[in-house]
Amino acid sequence: MELTAVWALLLTAGLVILALVAFAAVAERPRTPRPDPRKLRAAAQELAVHANKAHTEAGRAAGAAADARERLAEAERARDEAWAAQEAADQTYRRAWQEVLAGRAAQDSRVADPVEGADEQQRDVARAALTAYRNGDISVEQLREVWLRASGDWDPELEERERAAYRYKLEERAARRVYHRADVAVRHAEQEVQVAEVALQALRDEAAEAAVEAHEALLATERYTQRRRLPRPRPRTE
């Protein structure tokens, strides 16, 4: 046998041996067991149940978010009404106070010295009021009223306007407090809407992911079930 033929034979034998070793290694390698279709089906059913629950929770979250937005709209309407009421009360008080100031200016122009020219009893009353004012027992407004009464220049109509202006001032303050409470309610409602919308988005994402996982699990179950049902090929006979 020629040298070239010998080397060719040895090379062929070596290749065969390598092929046998490789086949033996592959044959001895542990095979990954195929998944059990029953277990896959059970897992797919669990994922489907979870997807349905997530979808239901997302629906509830959507309703909660809608309710929160409606409460926010109501709170905003109440705040707008409170603001309008506060503005109206403030304007009413300002007009009444301007009338009071005008009345006082007219009255002061008629009164040069409330004590001067009064009778003895009026002087005594005025002096007593001045002493009480210096002792801190009465306010300057009360002192002024006593002087006006003592001088005979007391104007009951002006006094009524002052009382009305005081009532309007109290109403304006009350309207302002109502507005502040309404504004706080709006801020709370805005926070509730934000929380509800974040929860809604999270549940929608979870429902979508769960639906995809359930669908993939169902496809895997059908695929492995069909593989098990396929007949195995019979060995060929010579």
Residues 60-91 have pLDDT tens digits of 989 999 999 999 999 999 999 999 999 999 99
- CA neighbor of 162 nearest in space, from 136, 137, 144: 144
pLDDT of residue 34: 63
HEC sequence for the chain: CCHHHHHHHHHHHHHHHHHHHHHHHHHHCCCCCCCCHHHHHHHHHHHHHHHHHHHHHHHHHHHHHHHHHHHHHHHHHHHHHHHHHHHHHHHHHHHHHHHHHHHHHHHHHHCCCCCCCCCHHHHHHHHHHHHHHHCCCCCHHHHHHHHHHHHCCCCHHHHHHHHHHHHHHHHHHHHHHHHHHHHHHHHHHHHHHHHHHHHHHHHHHHHHHHHHHHHHHHHHHHHHHHHHHCCCCCCCCC
Could you tell me if 93 and 171 are in contact, meaning their C-beta atoms sit under 8 angstroms apart?
yes
Better-scored residue on pLDDT, 204 or 231: 204
Least confident of 88-97, 107-116, 164-173, 206-215: 107-116
Better-scored residue on pLDDT, 186 or 54: 186
With tokens 């304007």, the residue in question is 91
Residue 201 scores a pLDDT above 70: yes
Residues 91-147 have pLDDT tens digits of 999 999 998 888 878 766 665 444 444 556 666 777 777 788 778 878 877 777 776
Least confident of 20-29, 151-160, 227-236: 20-29
Residue 221 scores a pLDDT above 90: no
Burial pattern 76-90, b for ≥16 Cβ within 10 A else e, equals: bebbeebbebbeebb
Position 217 confidence tier, pLDDT thresholds 50, 70, 90: confident
Residues 2-54 have pLDDT tens digits of 434 434 444 444 444 444 444 444 444 455 556 666 776 777 778 778 878 88
